[in-house]
Structure formats: structure tokens, C-alpha cells
Amino acid sequence: MRKLIISLSIITLMLGVTACQDFLDVTPKDRYSEKVVWESKENVKLYLNGFYAIARDYGGFGSRSLGSQHHLSDGLSDILKYSSSVPGTGTPNYVTMVPGQISPDQNALSVWTNAYERIRRINEFLDGLNKYGDKFSKEQKDQFRAEARFFRGYLYFLLVRNHGSVILLDELTSDRSHERSPESACWDFVARDLDFAAQHLPKTWPESDKGRVSKGAAYAFKSRAMLYAERWQAAVSAAQNVIDMNQYGLLNNYGDVFKSADNQEVIFAVRYQAPKFAHDFDERYAPSGDIPGRGGQAGPTQELVDAYEMADGTEFNWDNPQHANQPYQNREPRFYASILYNGASWKGDTIETYVDGEDGYVEYGTSPNPATTVTGYYMRKLLDEDNKDFVNNKSDKPWIELRYAEVLLNYAEGKIQQGQIQQGMDKVNMIRNRVGLPAESAANKEEAMKIFRHEKMVEMAFEGHRYWDLRRWDLAHEKLNDVRFHGMKITRNQDGSFSHQIVECDDQDRYFPEKYYRFPIPSSEIANNPAIEQIENW
């Protein structure tokens, strides 16, 4: 078998899980007056620590962005399929296939209430620092502000990504009446917070503060946010700032990137520390042979598997007899680092995703919570292969929120969108060169974007980009609507060979109407805020 939050309501200070092993304790330490909080640098850092729970909760090993039972927004897209077909545990499938699952009254993808609660906590911090932080130098106060404003920018990025136009709050207020700001003003706000963070955060932290957000993290996150804002040159400039730091680079081995937060490709990661501060991602998503009756919550689709090229850079093709006879041989390195397929080596054993194999296969919808793959595949990239008993010993593998490869891709997209094709393709080809694939070329913007979109889907698979990328590219209503995605049903023959049959892993068509490009404001906000108006079309 294989396998701070800080709430400061004047008197209470509690520490929360953050991104560094030295500030992971969630146990309440004491009760302080507000004045005591600002008496030392150490106390202020404890306050700041709580904001790192934002990255933990909205990261891929958290659960805020896709309901309490799920982690990965890629499960809303064409590259990952959740296995359950019942409400609650099957939330991603209901959102993607059933009309009415996103509305002002219910939205499993909503971050509104939680994000604004945390924004208020950050504004409380900034207000307290202004009132009581006189003993600190301007430089120290600006660094404190920079950490806080990074996370405020992070939260506002999520809100604007989801809704387009939201309420901007940069200070404490008791007024319940607030209008939504224009989307352009919202992106200005995100940019200002991240610019301030980049200006005042250090390039590196001492070992005792390892894991805190840095100058590179602020610029990298801005390069991501400005793509959503369609501010192409701003995205390029932010990415260039990261590149010019000469602090980060691509690892030679793609698979090694995800094993540790301490490598040159990682810009910002959520760090865990077993056994006390660990996550249950493996317990939910590992092959069912690791943990019978559990695991297998989601698996890669055939669409993603077929997107990985052959080792020589040619496209995989089921019409090619050699490819069809041995579909998992001679593929590019990212395939083997990302996908667990029938016959793959895993924890000293061999994956069996054929019918009645140890790791199983079930047709989607025939079992409400099958705890096994409905696509014939499992994820490999995010799982902890070194943990042999993740039920009793949960994983401390880090969630990598920002890495250098994304920065290069952000630069590439910004350049391509501005018509500077070769400069963009140069960065795309750096990504391809790392895994031994030949360089690509494009004659125009349309060709370049087609290549780019493919490359980002493969390079960043399971890292939380695909659904939101299709949405911001205005392709979701084509790629995720009136279609069904696929998996692989494998049968073992009497002679030990295998027969492969591509099958649908959806039992009804996907659903993405055009109004999903801007999610509605929750009904509760409309009821409590007399100045706010609902998003158009809702």
C-alpha cells in the first residue's frame, strides 16, 4: 500500500499559520492592549505573520478558492477532473456543468466576504502603525507597511479577477455605504499596493525570516496581475524587474522545482513544517493504491495528457500507430514529472489505472464518491513521493505560489500582446529549452499566442492558472461551454497487453455562459450596502 490568522480587535492577538517555519504556531500566546502590540519589532512581526495565512488558504494546498472540500481551480477547466458526482464533494463538477451554481445567492468561487474581512484586518494594522508606530524609523515602518500592502494587493487581485469592479477600501471606516469603483481604478489600486511593496521590501531576508514576501515576490505578483488588467507593458516591466535582480533562474530539472521551496526558481512559497504544520493534499489526491477508500479526488484529463509533446518536440497523435501502441513512451520531461499514468513508477511500485487495477478506474457518475480516478490518471507534480505514510504523517511539501518560469511567461505574453513577437518567443523558448524541446517560431501575434497558450497550460498545469487564463482570454465560453472532456479507460488483456479507449469523463455538457466572465456581487452585500449596484447581466 502507498500513500496569524491575526485578529486584532484592540485586545486580542493570535498568531496564524504563515509561510515560514519560524512563525507557524497558531496557539494564542497572550492578550495584549493595542499599545503593547507596537512596543517592539517582534510584536509587530507577529501581527504581520497572520497575513501569511492568506497565501496558505488561497494557495493550492488550502481550500478557500474552491470550497472546503477542494483545492484546485484547474478542476474547473479542461485539464483536471474531480471524481465525485454529489453536491459538496462534487462542487467543481456542479459549477462546471449545472446552470445556476453561480448566482448572487450562491457562488462556490466567491471570495468576497472572506477577502473583505481580511482587508479590514490589514487596514487595522496600517491604521495602528500610523497611530502607535512612532518608535520605529520611517524605513522600518515602510517595510512593515510593504508586507501588509503586498497581501492587500493579493486580496484585491482576487476580488477584481472575479468581479471586475469592486469596493476599494484603503482605510478603516464604519460607513456601510460604498460604491463599486471602475475596474481600471481597481487595477490601479492593486498596482499601487504592489509597487509600494516592491519599493520597500528587501531582496532577501535573513535566515530567521526565511519565507517572508520579498521585492521579487511583489514584482512577480504584479506581472501576473497586470496581465489580467491587460496592461501589457506594465506586466513586462514588472517581470523585467525580477529578471534584472539576477537572483532567480530556471532549474535544469523541471521535476525538482516542486520538491523544495529552497531552489533558485522559487520566488514565494507557502512553507509547511511536519508534523504539526502540514497539509492533507496527498491524502485527498494520491493514487487510490496508496490509500484504499481515500485519495483520488481529481485526475488529469486526456486533453492535458495529449497536450504533452513527444521528446523530440513533435505533437502526440493517436493516429500515429507507434504513439497509439505506446502512448506513454518518449514524451517530454514535464509529462513524466506531472502525470501518473498506467505503468508509471511510484513509491517503488507501479501505477495500475486499468480496470480492476490496484489504482483503479471508474466511470464518472457510476459511484458518488469513488476515491479513485475517473480519467485514468493521477497528478504527480504536487504530490509528496517521499512520504510513504501520509495518513499518519501529513505532508510538508511547499505550495509554490510564484516561480521564475511564470515570470518569464508573463514577460512573453506582455510582449506578444504588444506585437513584439520575437522578444516574447525568446522567453517561451527558454522554458522549452529547459526541458529539451526545440525552439518555436511564429509569423504573427495569433500564431504566437496559440503557441504561448499551449506552453503555459503545460508548464503551469495544476498551479491554479488554467481556468482563470481561459476566462481572461475570453475563451472560456468557447473552451468550457457545450463540450465534454475525456479520460482513458484501459483494459488489461489476457496476454498482459493493454487496450486503450478514450472515454468521456463528463456525463453532461460543460456550462460557461458569457456572464460568468464577471461574477455577481453577493446578495448579502447588495442588501447591506445601499450604494452598491449589481454587476451587469446579474
pLDDT for 292 equals 83
Instruction: For residue 13, give the C-alpha cell.
Output: 492577538
8 A C-beta contact, residue 187 and residue 173:
no
CA distance 285 to 70: 10
CA distance linking residue 238 with residue 222, whole number of Å:
6
Burial of 166 (0-12, 13-18, 19+ CB in 10 A): buried
Low-confidence ranges of the chain (pLDDT < 70): 1-33, 65-70
pLDDT value, residue 34: 72
DSSP secondary structure letters along 467-491: HHHHHHTT-HHHHSSS---EEEEEE
pLDDT score for 68: 53
SS3 for 409?
A: helix
Grid coordinates representing 349 are 511500485
Cis peptide before 275 (omega within 30 of 0): yes
- Cα dihedral 303→72→221→427 (10° resolution): -20
Cell 462534487 locates to 90
Residue 328 is predicted with a pLDDT of 98
Q: Which amino acid is at 49?
A: N
C-alpha cell at 336: 513524466
The set of residues, in sequence order, having a beta carbon less than 8 Å from that of 84 and lying 6+ positions away, is: 90, 93, 297, 368, 369, 370
Sign of the Cα pseudo-torsion (96, 318, 425, 265, in order): positive
E strands, 289-398, are 298-300, 339-340, 345-346, 349-350, 378-379
The pLDDT of residue 274: 83
Closest residue by Cα to residue 36 from 10, 57, 15: 10
Q: Dig out the grid coordinates for 375 from the structure.
A: 480519467
- From CA 406, how far away is CA 415, in angstroms rounded? 14
Strands 339-340 vs 80-82: parallel, antiparallel or unpaired: unpaired
Q: CA 433 to CA 102: how far, in whole Å?
A: 41
Strands (E), 151-263: none
User: With contact defined as beta carbons under 8 Å apart, do 172 and 120 qualify?
Assistant: yes
Query: Which amino acid, one-letter code, is at 81?
Result: K
Alpha-carbon gap, residue 115 to 124, rounded angstroms: 14
Question: pTM for the full model?
Answer: 0.94
For residue 408, which of 390, 437, 429 has the smallest C-alpha distance?
A: 429
- The alpha carbons of the chain give a radius of gyration, in whole angstroms, of 23
How many other C-beta atoms lie within 10 A of the C-beta of residue 54?
Answer: 28
Query: Where do we find the cell 478557500?
Result: 64
**Neighbour tally for 84: CB within 10 Å:** 25
* Separation of alpha carbons 107 and 96, rounded Å: 12
What distance, in Å, lies between the first and last C-alpha atoms of the chain?
50
